[in-house]
Structure 1
Amino acid sequence: MPLSVSVRDIQTLILSYHPVIVIETLEEERVQTLLKKATEEMSIPMFEWSIAQGLIRSPGTFNAPWVNEYAPPGTLKPAAIGNTAEPLAVLKHVQDMSIKALFWLKDFGKHFEDPETARHFREAAQLFSQKRSAFVLTGDNIELPREIEHDAVVYDLKLPDRDELSRTVKEVVRTMRHKHRTIVELEDQDMQALVQAMTGMTLKQARQVLAYAALDDGKLTTDDVERILHRKAQLIRAGGVLDYLPVEGNRVEWGGFANLKNWLGRAKVGFSPAAKALNLTPPKGILIVGIQGCGKSLAAKAIAREWKMPLLKLDAGRLYDKFVGESEKNFRKAISLAESMAPAVLWIDEIEKSLGATGSDSDGGLSRRMFGFFLTWMQEKSQEVFVVATANDISQIPPELLRKGRFDEIFYVDLPDLQERGAIFRIHLMLRKQDPSHFDMPTLLQASEGYSGAEIEQAVVAALYRALYVEKPLDTELLVQEIQGMIPLSVSRQEHLKQLRNLAQDRFMSAR
């Protein structure tokens, strides 16, 4: 979201008598830039408070004392106004001030545990609602008392967009070149590649990773893009519920799925300028249901690779949190991150486990709330985030999710046929440096009837281990022995497979 839009949003909230604005973020630098711009255009003073410095008039804002911008950092700290370091003291001071202003309170949420502080804050907020002043609360996981919640509005500060990141890249490049004599070998298209690699990062993270790449070898070149992507993958994985696979690291191969591949070829046109010119929205996503080990997860990776988009995997196990409200927050955070990295593919593996069984109240209605949020987002999203959801158990999927319009299409994946099994064998043999022409393929295809792609892969791996053990080259006989020694899902879960086929046959499109 451009800065100008965020500035207008904050100004509109203040002018519409919203006394408390909550911004859950740790990016105080961006908040400061946003609030300074908003108050400067409105010609109202801005104050900021933290327990470490007390209340100060924010430097560089309307009617604030002049500050020497060339002084070394930290040498000219603004003096606190009165004795306002304590939360209760600053609220009492603010209530006595007669001016219309914006007050930025940092990490103030934890102080609402004191009833007297909460009461004074509530009275100050009631006063603000009459004179167009406002509190802005920032921090991580801000919890407001119920009596204050109805006065507050939550403002969602999106991750930096490409314009913000582009300005940051230029600032860092300029600093590296002049202060550290860094050699910069970047054309305009290379700069855009750097910006694209940094989408999904905060400004602070972007500066740090770019400065590290430049200082490590004294150069900033196109080779640093891959290092930045690697660092971004680490940050995303450490930061929450998503795993990240960049385009450059996605080298999967898939056999079969002819019908799905044809559909994807047509759907890709929806991301083109020609489609936008006709007011066509980009495709929303697909749901892939079917038997375990038949390539549903592989399809998600292959789609991202074919479309040259980064892949984000939503881990349902890391989505749920023991604390009230945290699971929904994790989900919203994951969706926001995916949107900031658009165009991207968002893979929700085993969606029935994270958003299924919404009729149960055993979790306090958590699944139902998250399911409702997901449905609304799928219905209204405009960002180029293509959702690939996979499911093994159709019975656990809420019927609302199967309705036409939620997903662009629902595909059913069955056990691979003869031709697909041949392609799977060739892929896994070649991947492990085996020549497929040295094997009796008709014999392997007959032996693997009823086996899934994952089971065929495991047979190849196990046969190679046995070949190493007996110290002989892998051959057809060893492979057949491993295949016949396995009990495939088509046998162990025969009833489930039959039920799944009967259910999907007339309702979903075949992936073949």
Structure 2
Amino acid sequence: MMSVLKEAGAAVSRSCRKIFYFISDDYDIIPRLIDSNPMVFAQLMRGKISEEYFAGQNTYKKLYSQYVEDCHYLLKPLLFADGDGRARQESNRRKPGARIFVCTDFHLLRETERGMILKQFLDYAEKKECLLLLSSPVLALPCGYEQIAEVIDVPGPDTEDIREQLFGYAAAQTRKRGEMLDEGAKARIAEAADDFKGLDFHEIEAVIYEVTGKYGSFYGRSGEQKCVAASDDFAVIAEARRARADTAKKEKARRDSTVTILETGNLVAGLGKYKTWFEGRQDAIKNPAKARRMGREPIRGVLMTGLPGTGKTQGAKYTAYRLGMPLVQLRIDNLLGGLVGDSEKNFKRYRKRIEMLAPCVVLIDEIEKLFSDERSGKGGGSEVKMNIFTALLDWMQENKKGIFFYATCNSVKNLPPELLRDGRFSMRFCVFMPTYRELVEIICFHMKRVNDLSEGEVFRCAEEISGKNGEIFPKAAEKFLHQVTQYGRAKKRNMFFTGANIEALINNVQYCLPGGQARGIGQYVDAMMTSAESEFCQPYGETNLKNAVEFWLDALENTFTDAAGYGKDSYGRERPTPLSFYRFDKQEADFHKDAIDFDNEYDKYLYEIFREKIRQAYVQRVKGE
């Protein structure tokens, strides 16, 4: 695989221009490019610079002594003119053999000064064979000069570049001590490259120096006093290196508002069918090149639509955790800029930063919000958002960096057709109202969370009854769902909960317990029922039943797949839920009449209410068409 620096050098070699503009966050990108591609720049100079300067290592340092002229932004821009006395003074200070002119941080100059430098260089270049190398984090060419410069957008360092840097540093240190890198050390250095993904060269150097200062090396040198050849010591150094690199990535994310790194987690209730699908393709997501060799299409990502509070974002955290990859959130509001073109530039920078972190999981939360302004007819921001959306689609289509896109949405109705076409996402899943088993998991999770926060005080006395909290939580959850279903039937209330409803209910239970403690399962369930019957509890089935039905029909029309299962069948496969799209017959405008094995009253009541509402809404929608 060709490294990023080699790719940039190849782009330079294909051009016949004299001005090269490198877009990169690395302010030393030009020296690195020359050092990585010495013969490319030797050919560009067509023999005007002796070949010996391009041989061996430290090419840039050798060139700098005679042939490189700094056009630093702190100097006056009149570096090539001979008009007035000051300009002649600058000209006299120029190195007599200057053939390569370098200007870093070109964007910090005023536009008039940038135009003056380019004009004077072009006049100078008519008389002598020379190059002008510019660099900055963003493109800042004056108007009218776009056609005369070769613009090369240099991505952040990839694994190959990082390995070269690590091996170069380790080799230099071992040469000073008169040692050689053994095969074990080389393997550990190659493995260390994955820890630095997402950092630039300077940040990598800072981590290396810090870890080396503490442990003697960043990889563990065999036979060293501070780092002997014991595998435990190598593991300690590797853990310290990863921790320091992770800290550097978080610090970098805090400095850059366009990048948000989220914590991952292994706890998510339900999503049985999605988990089965994901586990079967986990290796292909981690190794897209291997999947292509086997004739399989790479996994682009998933679109997870669902009602609010049903665990879609938790599914993204679960995905990143299982893959062992960082989870990065794409927030459109962080990309929007105040000036024309700023938003598009921010997106390009965001894409470059994410590709440095690859392989990773990119969470696009509530993707339908991208189109709210455009759908409502508002001007201004709508065009900018659509430009970002187009760039996002291109990125997803061209993705070859091992990025897994995980998009969520709350409303299928607002999604454009181009996002729903086959091939955009590898799969489209839908999350509806949680079933009984999923709610038991959710209730147990939040009960355990509250109990851990209180250091075990909530169920301290209840332990004497059931022995273990692990037994108390499921029993309390099952008893509560049984009672709340009876209450809903008796009062004709749709007491159907989402995960967010359960979290709010459990948090409110603490205020219903005398002294904040439960004397047993019964007392805690009574407190849960008190919280559920209060005016502060607003189950989604009570407040948004109509919206939930419309959402189900929209997902049905766009052929989404249920993300949840309903237990295992005799073959170990996830059975469809009672309200599965698979069970709905459009001709009959009803669910299949096959018997459903309800083992609890909650799911049966949920099915009865939503079945009738879905049937009525579907018939009205068909008649309306």
* TM-score bracket, shorter-length normalisation: 0.7 to 0.9
Q: Residues of 2 paired with 1:429 and 1:78: CA distance?
A: 72
Out of 96, 102, 124, the residue aligned to residue 104 of structure 1 is 102
1:190 Cα shift?
4.3
Moved more, 81-90 or 308-317: 81-90
Equivalent in the alignment of 1:260? 274
Equivalent in the alignment of 1:361? 379
**Cα–Cα, structure 1 residues 178 and 396, in superposed 2: closer, same or farther, change >3 Å?**
same
**Cα–Cα, structure 1 residues 110 and 215, in superposed 2: closer, same or farther, change >3 Å?**
closer
**Any idea what the Cα deviations from partners look like across 1:43-68, whole Å, max 9, x if unmatched?**
2687xxxxxxxxxxxxx9857699x9
Equivalent in the alignment of 1:242? 259
Q: Residues of 2 paired with 1:232 and 1:178: CA distance?
A: 31
Q: Residues of 1 paired with 2:346 and 2:119: CA distance?
A: 29
Q: Residues of 1 paired with 2:561 and 2:514: CA distance?
A: 43
Equivalent in the alignment of 2:152? 155
> Do structure 1's residue 456 and structure 2's residue 471 form an aligned pair?
no
1:252 Cα shift?
3.1
Native 8 Å contact 1:356 1:397 kept in 2: no
Could you say which structure has the larger radius of gyration? 2
Matches within 5 A, 1:59-138: 85-90=75-80, 101-114=99-112, 118=115, 121-122=118-119, 124-125=121-122, 134-138=131-135
Q: Residues of 1 paired with 2:170 and 2:533: CA distance?
A: 61
**Cα–Cα, structure 1 residues 65 and 470, in superposed 2: closer, same or farther, change >3 Å?**
closer
Native 8 Å contact 1:339 1:383 kept in 2: yes
1:27 Cα shift?
1.4
> Do structure 1's residue 387 and structure 2's residue 438 form an aligned pair?
no
RMSD, matched Cα: 4.0
Native 8 Å contact 1:351 1:389 kept in 2: yes
Q: Residues of 2 paired with 1:325 and 1:390: CA distance?
A: 27
Q: Residues of 2 paired with 1:283 and 1:490: CA distance?
A: 35
Equivalent in the alignment of 1:53? none
Percent identity between matched residues is 21
Out of 218, 226, 229, the residue aligned to residue 246 of structure 2 is 229
Alignment gaps of 5+ in structure 2: 83-90, 219-236, 453-458, 460-468, 486-494, 565-625
> Do structure 1's residue 441 and structure 2's residue 477 form an aligned pair?
yes
Matches within 5 A, 1:70-469: 85-90=75-80, 101-114=99-112, 118=115, 121-122=118-119, 124-125=121-122, 134-173=131-170, 190-216=188-214, 220=218, 221-224=237-240, 225-245=242-262, 250-271=264-285, 272=287, 274-354=290-370, 357-358=373-374, 360-363=378-381, 365-431=383-449, 432-433=451-452, 435=469, 437-438=471-472, 439-446=475-482, 447=484, 449-464=495-510, 466-467=512-513, 469=515
Q: Residues of 1 paired with 2:400 and 2:476: CA distance?
A: 51
Native 8 Å contact 1:348 1:388 kept in 2: yes
Q: Residue 374 of structure 1 aligns to a residue in which SS?
A: helix
1:417 Cα shift?
1.0
**Cα–Cα, structure 1 residues 352 and 82, in superposed 2: closer, same or farther, change >3 Å?**
closer
Q: Residues of 2 paired with 1:502 and 1:269: CA distance?
A: 34
Q: Residues of 2 paired with 1:176 and 1:455: CA distance?
A: 58
Instruction: Tell me the amino acid that sits aligned with residue 452 of structure 1.
Output: T
Moved more, 428-437 or 454-463: 428-437
Q: Residues of 1 paired with 2:414 and 2:173: CA distance?
A: 54
Moved more, 77-86 or 414-423: 77-86
Native 8 Å contact 2:71 2:102 kept in 1: no
Q: Residues of 2 paired with 1:342 and 1:81: CA distance?
A: 37
Q: Residues of 2 paired with 1:130 and 1:489: CA distance?
A: 77
**Any idea what the Cα deviations from partners look like across 1:239-275, whole Å, max 9, x if unmatched?**
2322224xxx633311111111122123324344652
**Cα–Cα, structure 1 residues 10 and 261, in superposed 2: closer, same or farther, change >3 Å?**
same
Native 8 Å contact 1:102 1:135 kept in 2: yes
Native 8 Å contact 2:156 2:355 kept in 1: no
Q: Residues of 2 paired with 1:98 and 1:78: CA distance?
A: 8
Q: Residues of 2 paired with 1:82 and 1:293: CA distance?
A: 57
Q: Residues of 1 paired with 2:477 and 2:120: CA distance?
A: 80
Q: Residues of 2 paired with 1:355 and 1:334: CA distance?
A: 20
Equivalent in the alignment of 1:509? 561
Native 8 Å contact 1:109 1:137 kept in 2: no
1:400 Cα shift?
1.2
Q: Residue 446 of structure 2 aligns to a residue in which SS?
A: helix
Q: Residues of 2 paired with 1:228 and 1:98: CA distance?
A: 44
Equivalent in the alignment of 1:49? none
Instruction: Tell me the amino acid that sits aligned with residue 509 of structure 1.
Output: T
**Cα–Cα, structure 1 residues 124 and 219, in superposed 2: closer, same or farther, change >3 Å?**
closer
1:402 Cα shift?
1.4
Moved more, 292-301 or 121-130: 121-130
Out of 11, 21, 24, the residue aligned to residue 9 of structure 1 is 11
**Any idea what the Cα deviations from partners look like across 1:398-441, whole Å, max 9, x if unmatched?**
22111111111111111101121112122333344562532433
Native 8 Å contact 1:287 1:407 kept in 2: yes
Instruction: Tell me the amino acid that sits aligned with residue 497 of structure 1.
Output: A
TM-score w.r.t. structure 1 length? 0.81
Q: Residues of 2 paired with 1:322 and 1:466: CA distance?
A: 49
Q: Residues of 2 paired with 1:81 and 1:238: CA distance?
A: 32
Q: Residues of 2 paired with 1:106 and 1:356: CA distance?
A: 40
Q: Residues of 2 paired with 1:209 and 1:427: CA distance?
A: 38
**Cα–Cα, structure 1 residues 91 and 481, in superposed 2: closer, same or farther, change >3 Å?**
farther
Moved more, 285-294 or 216-225: 216-225
For CA contacts below 8 A with separation 6 or more, give which structure has more relative contact order. 1
1:355 Cα shift?
5.6
Native 8 Å contact 2:440 2:477 kept in 1: yes
Q: Residues of 1 paired with 2:116 and 2:128: CA distance?
A: 19
Residue-pair matches, total: 486
TM-score w.r.t. structure 2 length? 0.68
Q: Residue 148 of structure 1 aligns to a residue in which SS?
A: coil
**Any idea what the Cα deviations from partners look like across 1:269-318, whole Å, max 9, x if unmatched?**
43446523234342001111111110010000111112222211222332
Native 8 Å contact 1:122 1:148 kept in 2: no
Q: Residue 158 of structure 1 aligns to a residue in which SS?
A: coil
Q: Residue 388 of structure 1 aligns to a residue in which SS?
A: strand
1:471 Cα shift?
4.3
Alignment gaps of 5+ in structure 1: 47-59
Q: Residues of 2 paired with 1:453 and 1:469: CA distance?
A: 26
**Any idea what the Cα deviations from partners look like across 1:159-196, whole Å, max 9, x if unmatched?**
1121221233344456778989xxx9985554344311
Q: Residues of 2 paired with 1:130 and 1:410: CA distance?
A: 62
**Any idea what the Cα deviations from partners look like across 1:92-121, whole Å, max 9, x if unmatched?**
669x99999543222334435327x62562
Q: Residues of 1 paired with 2:40 and 2:384: CA distance?
A: 42
Moved more, 447-456 or 412-421: 447-456
Native 8 Å contact 1:293 1:453 kept in 2: yes
> Do structure 1's residue 31 and structure 2's residue 30 form an aligned pair?
yes
